[in-house]
Each structure stands twice: as structure tokens, then as C-alpha cells.
A and B are shown apart, each in its own frame.
Chain A
Amino acid sequence: MQIEFELNGATVGTSVEARTSLADCLRDNLGKTGTHLGCEHGVCGACTVLVNGEAVRACLMLAVQANGDKVVTVEGLSSDNLSPLQASFRKHHALQCGFCTPGFITTAHALLTAEPDADEERIRDVLSGNLCRCTGYVPIIEAVLDARKFYAVQKEKA
């Protein structure tokens, strides 16, 4: 089936089987391999992307269901330089093997964009849908907490 949607700000078109997940479409058809696939059944959160601004699991959505939507992957969150959230992950050593990182970054980005004043409990609650097999959760929480100030400034500007 022919589909068209906005990907990281640019309109893209591609042809997929109906059964193709949004995650596979992003990786295989559109080359956005920053979206990682861990469990492929909605448990690990590694494939989290933003659809119309909301964090969703790209393995639990068909590519055809994204037809006409606005999709943002981890590649769309920064240009040449790291985004403040990504820089905060580096500062706090919030990644080890890095496999889960795109899912944590996209999820935390969606959260802090909507709720820049999220407290630690709220952040832990939201990130409970993402698994890190290196078990580096503490620095991840610290990185997200530290990045809140950038999102607060952005929200004020908006």
C-alpha cells in the first residue's frame, strides 16, 4: 500500500505491506535506524517514536495507520549538535550499550515537552515503560531531571 506522512519535518512517501509495523517501515523503507526494535511486542519501549507529538511504540502501530500523521524519530530531535536532553544523557553517563537509549530519549522528550516540571516520581512512572538491560536506570533519571530546565525555558518562550 502507498502511504505518505511527515517524517522529522519532511513529507515522505513509501510503499509497504499492510502488515508492516511503523518501526520496520522507518528502519527498512526510510533508513531511520535510530529507532531500535527490541521485543517487537510492546514491552521494552526501545522503538518509541512520536506520532502527532505523542510517544508511542512503533512496533505496536502499523505503518499504514501513520498515513497522514506527523512522525518524529530520535534522528529528528537534533541536528548537528546533541539536543539538551541528549547532552544531559552524555553528561550523566545515562547510557551504556545504547540500545535502549533512543526509546528513553524520545519518551523523555515527549514527557518534558508536555510537562517540564515533572518530578522524579512522574519521570519514573513514565519511564517504567522502557527497559534498560544494562540496568542503568539511576543515571537515566538524573539526566532527565537535569534536562528539565531546558524544556521549561522552551515552554516559556512558546
Chain B
Amino acid sequence: MKPSAFEYASPATLEEAVSLLHAGNGNAKIISGGQSLMPMMAFRLAVPEFLVDLKHIPDLNIIRIADDGVHLGARVRWCDIAGDARLLTAHPLLAEAVTHVAHYQIRNRGTVGGSLAHADPSAEMPGVALTCDALLTIIGSSGTRIEKASAFFTGPLQTTLEADEILTELHLPAWPAARRWAFKEFARRKGDFAMAGVALFYDLDGNGRAENAHIGAIGVSDCPIRLGAAEAALNGNVVDDNTIAAVAAAARAEIDPPSDIHAPAAYRRALVGTLLARGLTQSAG
């Protein structure tokens, strides 16, 4: 339960941090809140030789709300999001999803960037980023790149981040005030990892029909996924009991969830349908 030995540095600039990662030659890792990495190191699932702490790098802890949406610095913590009342209107789906992340003490340390880079298949933040077509700013030795969330997550705990790259910002596109949305997840104990969860939003056209449907699921695949068939079943329809049943059925049919000690596949499949139906009912109310 003790991590293996490593060296540690807390550089003052991103450039310095990138060069330390680069020099680590694949054996250096970023630490910030450490709420995912520290357990990984305690179990020796992660055995880095060098840790680069983002603690002293300025401006990464800023929540910026602009015309083009919400910008979250990588070091923004769950308690920062929960404590920022502007987000209740600027991005209510984010604000709601974050209430499900972990427990009180972990929420005081855990960060947006850490959750995205860790890429747990049942974590909330990757699910929200994918569902909302988020853009990720990534800085590395070869410069800065902007990655779509849809391309970023490649597998369980796997992303396109290179060994010498640092995720610095998450950009969630602007949120129209009239948008309909819901976030639902189920865990045996609040704050624990979800057995499954859904994030959804859509807009209403002039005739009260759903358009621009975005539906994402967590805990049912190697990484967060979009539910394309469920979105197609929602688009163009009035959100009534028939539509909700059709969307839930489409979601159940298109997912292929895993079985594990927490829940068999059939349970997760049913759970996604149930959560989606509850979310859609709430969103339409």
C-alpha cells in the first residue's frame, strides 16, 4: 500500500513541466489532486519514476465563462465547480453531474484535468465532455493542440495524451438557456463509482420537437460513449411517453455493457434504459 520510490518536482511554468515530462522519457507523470493517481500508485498499478506537480503553475485553476461557453482549467476542483453559482445557468448539466463525483474529502482535491486524463470508463467528467462535444487543450513538446473529446478517449484509462503532454483546459460549448437536459447515474452508495449513468441534452424546435439530441453513457463500455440510435429516436419527436419508451429501447439495444463484480451486463443494460427514461421525463417536465 506504499508507492514505489520516485522523484518529484513542482515547476513554476507549463514549459518547464513539459520539458520535465519529455526528459522522463515515458516514465514521468503529472500529479495534481492525485485522487486517482495516488490509489493507483498505492496498489502499484502505476509506478512512475518522476512526478511533476502542477501545484505552482498559475491560471490552471480558473473557471472562465465566456460567450463561447465554459472554460475549466485543468486544476479546477470539484468543490470549485460546486461553489460557483454561475455554472447553474452557464452549464447546468456540468453542475448537476459534478454533484455525483466522489466524496467530500476527494472533492476538495480531485480535478477536472485529472479525471479526464485518468479516463475511468465510469467517471462523470469524461461522460459530460463527450456528450457536450467538448474541446481539450493539450500542451506538449511539439506545441499546443486542441482535441475533440470524441477522439480523446481511446479505452479504459487510455487517451491520446502523449507522455510529454499536459491537458490544460476543457472547453464546454455555450449552453442556450432554453436547452433541455438531465444527468442520471446509479451507484450503491452515493459518491461511489456509478454502475452506469447517462448525460443528455436536446433543444426544442418551433413545434416543440426535440432536435440536436446528445445522449452519452458512462460505465457501460471501455470509455464513455454516445448513444447514436437513442439520439436518432429522440430527434424530431415530441418528448412524450411513447418517445421516451422508444429512446430507452434504442439505448438498451445499442449498448454492449460488461459484466463484473458490481453488476451483470443485463442489469447495466436495463439500468441505462431506466436512467434515460427518468432523465427524459425530468427534462420534459
The finding on whether chains A and B are genuine partners in a shared complex, rather than unrelated, reads yes
List residues of A whose CB falls within 8 A of some B CB: 1, 17-19, 21, 24, 39-42, 45, 48, 54-57, 59-62, 64-65, 67, 107, 111, 125-129
**Do residues B1 and A61 form an inter-chain contact, with CB atoms below 8 A?**
no
**Do residues B104 and A42 form an inter-chain contact, with CB atoms below 8 A?**
no
List residues of B whose CB falls within 8 A of some A CB: 1-8, 10, 31, 34-35, 38-39, 41-43, 51, 53, 55, 79, 102-106, 108-109, 189-191
Residues on A with C-beta less than 8 A from B35 are 42, 60
B39: min CB distance to chain A, Å = 4
**Do residues B8 and A45 form an inter-chain contact, with CB atoms below 8 A?**
no
Measured in the bound complex, the distance between the Cα atoms of B191 and A127 in whole Å is 11
Which residue on chain A has the smallest CB distance to residue B50? A18
B107: min CB distance to chain A, Å = 9
Q: Nearest 3 CB-CB pairs, A to B?
A: A129-B103, A18-B8, A40-B1
Residues on B with C-beta less than 8 A from A24 are 2
A-B contact count (CB 8 A): 86
Measured in the bound complex, the distance between the Cα atoms of B7 and A125 in whole Å is 37
B61: min CB distance to chain A, Å = 13
Which residue on chain B has the smallest CB distance to residue A125? B190
Residues on A with C-beta less than 8 A from B79 are 54
A109: min CB distance to chain B, Å = 12
A28: min CB distance to chain B, Å = 11
Measured in the bound complex, the distance between the Cα atoms of B10 and A55 in whole Å is 22
**Do residues A19 and B5 form an inter-chain contact, with CB atoms below 8 A?**
yes
Q: With contacts A19-B3, A24-B2 known, what are 14 further pairs, Cβ within 8 A?
A: A19-B5, A19-B6, A19-B41, A21-B38, A40-B2, A41-B42, A55-B104, A55-B108, A56-B109, A61-B109, A62-B8, A64-B10, A111-B104, A125-B104
